[in-house]
Amino acid sequence: MLKKIGFCMLLVSSTCWAGDKAIIGSSELMSVEQTGLSYEARIDTGAVNTSLHAFDLEIEGGSEKKMKDNVGKTLFFTTENEEGLQKRLKAKIVKTSTVSNSQGRETRYMVDLKVGFQDKERKVRVNLRDRSHMDYKLLIGRNWLKGKYIVDVSEKKVIGPVAPISILESGLTFETRIDTGAVENSLHAVDLKVENGEKDMEKNIGKRLSFTTENEKGESHRVNAMIVETSLIRNAQGSEIRYMVELTVGQPGQEYKVKVNLKDRSKMSYKFLIGRNWLQGHYMVDVSL
């Protein structure tokens, strides 16, 4: 998943830094142009340099005792991706790098290779290491990411302005409006009945509520839930207080608990509206979808 965004980062000095960078996940399908191979690459902000699985290293004309004395020479090596596809390459050694990790310190040869998304690769310094025992044969470090990418380890999904969303408690799927302008989710609900209810809505918090909901296809269901709080909603028509309940909401098979306010939406095109309290931390919205 790769998506361009404009963003504003708040720094300690409270200055606003604006830029245009791409969001990248914690792992991505990437390629090394010279190999013609694709790799499931680990995106690692903890690594200074990008690293490629390499074995059977052979220096043209023979190797010097000290690795740094081989800088400038041509190096032959074999690389292999996660599917077992191999390629023999040659590249000039541009420098050596010493890497410290849990196994200690080791020195690696570095070469220049074109790395990135297919047909969008760009040249970067890559250290060569036998990664046969590792899950990822290509590791993308800060030298490839810097200035161009933001890493989103949550790997948020992208959703369009309208999406099929299910509510497990209702057994129904709704053609739902995704609304980043709304704080809360809102569900069509009529014939609300509070068990031992009182006129003061605040006093009904914690009580059981039953209501009928209906999707765009005219399918309806009676739902029982606990009132968890009330919500004051302001809109063009004025303000109103609504009951809020917790329901299990999401794309089919990916539902999770979230608070939903209840309103008669019979005159509205969409019987269910998703707001920021469901989207936050899980989804980005692309209105062009």
Residues 162 and 141 in one domain: no
Residues 134 and 214 in one domain: no
Residues 134 and 178 in one domain: no
Residues 102 and 174 in one domain: no
Q: pLDDT digit string (tens) for 71-120?
A: 999 999 999 999 999 999 999 999 999 987 656 788 999 999 999 999 89
Residues 188 and 247 in one domain: yes
Residues 94 and 59 in one domain: yes
What pLDDT score does 60 carry?
Answer: 96
What pLDDT score does 6 carry?
Answer: 42
Residues 6 and 125 in one domain: yes
The answer, as to whether pTM is greater than 0.85, is no
What pLDDT score does 288 carry?
Answer: 79
Final residue belonging to a domain, choices 136, 151, 166? 151
What pLDDT score does 104 carry?
Answer: 74
What pLDDT score does 155 carry?
Answer: 67
What is the rounded CA–CA span in Å between residue 277 and residue 280? 6
What pLDDT score does 87 carry?
Answer: 97
Beta strands 256-263; 185-188: pairing state: parallel
Question: Number of structural domains, the chain?
Answer: 2
| Contact status, residue 99 vs residue 127, Cβ threshold 8 Å | yes
The tokens for 200 are 């003061």
| Contact status, residue 287 vs residue 281, Cβ threshold 8 Å | no
Residues 120 and 164 in one domain: no
Final residue belonging to a domain, choices 96, 117, 151? 151
3-class secondary-structure state, position 34:
coil
Segments forming the whole domain that contains residue 45: 2-151
Q: Which residues of the chain fall below pLDDT 70?
A: 1-20, 101-103, 154-155, 236
What pLDDT score does 236 carry?
Answer: 65
Residues 65 and 126 in one domain: yes
What is the rounded CA–CA span in Å between residue 191 and residue 165? 23
CATH number at residue 259: 2.40.70.10
Residues 58 and 168 in one domain: no
Residues 168 and 244 in one domain: yes
Residues 87 and 165 in one domain: no
Final residue belonging to a domain, choices 129, 151, 173? 151
